[in-house]
Amino acid sequence: MAALSVLAGMIALFVLGENLPARVAPPAVAIIAASLALLVIYTMKVEPVDEVMRDVDWKTLIFLMSIFWLVEVVIKTGIVQSMSHILYAAFGANQLAVGIVMLAGIAIFSSVLANTPVVAASILLIKGYLVIAEVVPEEAMGAVFTGWPDTTLPVFIAMMFGATLGGNSTLIGAAANVVAAGICAKQGRKVTFMTFLRYGLPLTACQLVVAALYVLAMFALTRGAG
């Protein structure tokens, strides 16, 4: 029951934490939940804490941490901002074209990089493009801007589809894939990169086609409403 309470509290904070007066960001929620879970294990003597820590897949955590560092370097060096200018130079104010390009392009990036940091970089990329295209003011680059036009929503949705679905195509495309492969390896059933790719790539291609149709429908609806 205690473990379920920790889980319920974590989910509630993930959903509502950033809207609380004392803003609780997702990384803080994860740390709080993990600490409480360890406290529950310790106080109820479920298992020695040192054994729990030994069972943690540290190789996977270091891999994901390195990917986050790599993406942060890309952001800090201004590559993302340059890509925003390239998007505008190529497509101008055609948000439909940008949305489809984001869907496909981010899916490719998410297949070779963990999709969580890719999303963080992609949000900045889209914001920069929309500012350059004068769809939103420069204040939109901040974290508290809320005046997004309805017509911009499909672009963000396309990016999220690409990031989420693209990670299904390869073994390293999502944290869940890497963790699951690590667990399988510990149980003596190794999942290779090519084995995962053989099943993941066709499935992801089908999912992206459906997502593209959904994005096209969203563009039609938002423009019709406008």
Domain boundaries along the sequence of the chain:
1-56, 57-225
Placement of tokens 């205690």 in the chain: 2
Spatial separation of the C-alpha atoms in residues 223 and 220, rounded to whole Å: 5
**Digits of tens for pLDDT over the chain (226 positions)?**
777 888 888 888 877 777 777 777 777 888 888 888 888 877 877 777 777 777 777 777 787 777 777 777 777 777 778 888 898 999 888 888 999 999 999 999 888 877 777 887 888 889 989 999 988 888 888 777 878 888 888 999 999 999 889 888 988 887 788 878 888 887 888 888 899 999 999 999 999 999 999 999 988 888 765 5
Contact 110, 168 (CB under 8 A): no
In terms of Cβ atoms closer than 10 Å to its own Cβ (0-12, 13-18, 19+), residue 198 is exposed
Closest of 9, 47, 58, 51 to residue 30, by C-alpha? 9
Residues in contact with 226: Cβ distance below 8 Å, sequence separation at least 6, in sequence order: 150, 151
Residues in contact with 98: Cβ distance below 8 Å, sequence separation at least 6, in sequence order: 87, 91, 126, 129, 155
Spatial separation of the C-alpha atoms in residues 65 and 73, rounded to whole Å: 12
